Structure 1
């Protein structure tokens, strides 16, 4: 590490932030371990955090994840360098004491606001898979564990709960970002499980083409999830896998009502839906242009934990699923 750069960094950032800013994880031999040295029976949760207004929600989400037997560790990646250090330290102490299980909760300040940091390889990751998720999405633990089970059967693919699609606008001859009712090709980082190896492919490989696409993510402050879908699809020639959740509470969805949800939405990146979709369509078009091919592939259907009762019966004067017990 250059001494002058270190002195300059320490004059404006904390030692931890300087370490993140000046050390290249792609060149750290202690980070890229053999899959044999990584746990396959557990997962590391990476929660992206930015706004102090979402801290109460982050506490709840991180604590819930820590209570799962399949979670090895929970890392809150704090992506707002302007947050006062005392706030980060207080959050770190609160989260450390909030864990519901053996999984430790840590706060890792990022050196910049770059969304590419969500996919940086890290020493703290000691599992073959990671769960990348937003700070405004709460998923029940049973669904988390089921999604991880599906990943274990499909370790080369992206697994998630929120899907979107790409499509070609023939009139304008450009790609668009959309939702199809019968197929999907993009898994969102609201909840995304993937192999740890893809963190290296995203952050450390791909040469100048990947570097240009990562720069576009920085310029737009968007589309890191789309780029990861490009990376994985290009590697596997297969689409992602959509999993059904029993409960997936998305506080950032613009269709929410209530004061708390409105406050959460205001600090989100996708509050302007029309502009957001247009920008993401432009990302798809540019990624295609830079890569020289379109790797995204459609998938169909959803994997569910239980088929459940399908017939309706009349009980207590109401039509309900036949396995539902209705009190007299």
Structure 2
């Protein structure tokens, strides 16, 4: 089922320095999703970004509060949105959560990862920053990435890159990392134009591939890279994280709190295999391979830019033995 054919129902909890307001909104049913009505880009701000953090685990609530505060303190950020996709979380838990959260909470009608790229009406900026709930960038990193994106606004920009490659023996695509090239930017930290959200959500060319995301509960970031590469005929842009980005979800952390064991990618071998299957299936359904390799980099080499805790110190995650 695509978003365009579903009944859209969500709850918005607004929490800043004012009392909590709970607004229940029910829209539909519509034959055409209202979000797919063309939005006039002239009404969008270009001087700041909207951040969308995807949250699910109640175990990570204290961490999400810290991450939301870091984003909201940046002059590059207009609005921080927490997309809370765990429908089993009690309303009172979220209400308590919201009291100390520098963000707006949206509760979509399901836990579908496709909602990460829904063109929510609350988004009033041209640039949208998609973030995981275990990544905490510093102010310099946010500003530098936004500046790089403004010079390449049609491309996906971010700190964490991967690649696709074809395995001749198995006759299938694999998900990998290569030192000299990349074709995929991850949603750990991804900046893109709001129009790409509309294309991902509303373009019927991608209805079957969105269904694969639903079935696999994975690969929404790979599909977005497919969508953008196909529509702009360019690969993504990897930029340097000035001072590094704290990656709490990386399994190479000394993790006393268990934060690195919550995410989908905590089981690396299985995770990579499933994502290779996604690439193969997207290729089959679309009948083409739109992903484009990028070689021009704003970093010395294509590696992890996340910082992990090891022996009480923060070090680059890829300098550890895994």
Bin the TM-score by the shorter chain: 0.7 to 0.9
Inter-partner Cα distance in structure 2 for 1:32 and 1:117: 18
Q: Which residue of 1 aligns with 2:244?
A: 247
Match of 1:150 in 2: 148
TM-score by length of 1: 0.81
Q: Give the direction of change, closer, same or farther, for the CA distance of 1:195–1:172 in structure 2 (3 Å limit).
A: same
Q: 1:54-111, CA deviations, whole angstroms, 9 ceiling, x for partnerless residues?
A: 001100000110011111100000010110011111112211xxx4xxxxx2111121
Distance 2:218 2:35 in 1: 30
Matches within 5 A, 1:303-322: 303=298
Aligned to 2:304: none
Instruction: Give distance in 1, aligned partners of 2:261 and 2:285.
Output: 33
Counterparts in 2 of 1:181 and 1:199: CA distance versus 1, 3 Å: same
Counting helix residues as a fraction of each chain, which structure ranks higher?
A: 1
- Selected match of 1:52 from 38, 52, 58: 58
| C-alpha deviation, 1:35, in angstroms | 1.1
Please say if residues 78 and 109 of structure 1, whose CA atoms lie closer than 8 Å, have aligned partners that are also in contact: yes
Judged with a 3 Å threshold, the aligned counterparts in structure 2 of structure 1 residues 173 and 125 are, in CA distance, closer, same or farther, namely same
CA offset digits 1:142-162 (Å, max 9, x no partner) = 111111111111010000000
2:108 corresponds, among 107, 110, 116, to 110
Count residues with an aligned counterpart. 282
Q: Could you tell me whether the CA contact under 8 Å between 1:17 and 1:110 is conserved in 2?
A: no
- Give secondary structure in 2 for the equivalent of 1:249: strand
Offset, 1:233: 0.3
**In 2, Cα distance between equivalents of 1:288 and 1:281:** 11
* Structure 2 match to 1:313: none
Rounded Cα–Cα distance in structure 1 between residues aligned with 2:23 and 2:38: 20
State the match for 1:65 in structure 2: 71
2:26 equivalent among 1, 19, 29: 19
CA RMSD of aligned residues (A): 2.3
Normalized per residue, the structure richer in strand is 2
Query: CA shift at 1:31, angstroms?
Result: 7.0
Q: Could you list the runs of 5+ residues in structure 1 that have no partner in the other structure? A: 100-104, 306-328
Corresponding residue of 1:298: 293
1:222 paired to 2:218: yes
Deviation digits for residues 178-203 of structure 1, max 9, x if unmatched? 00011100000000000000000000
Map 1:1-328 → 2, pairs under 5 A: 19=26, 22=28, 27-28=33-34, 32-95=38-101, 99=102, 105-205=103-203, 207=204, 209-245=205-241, 246-260=243-257, 263-303=258-298
Change (3 A) 1:59 1:128: same
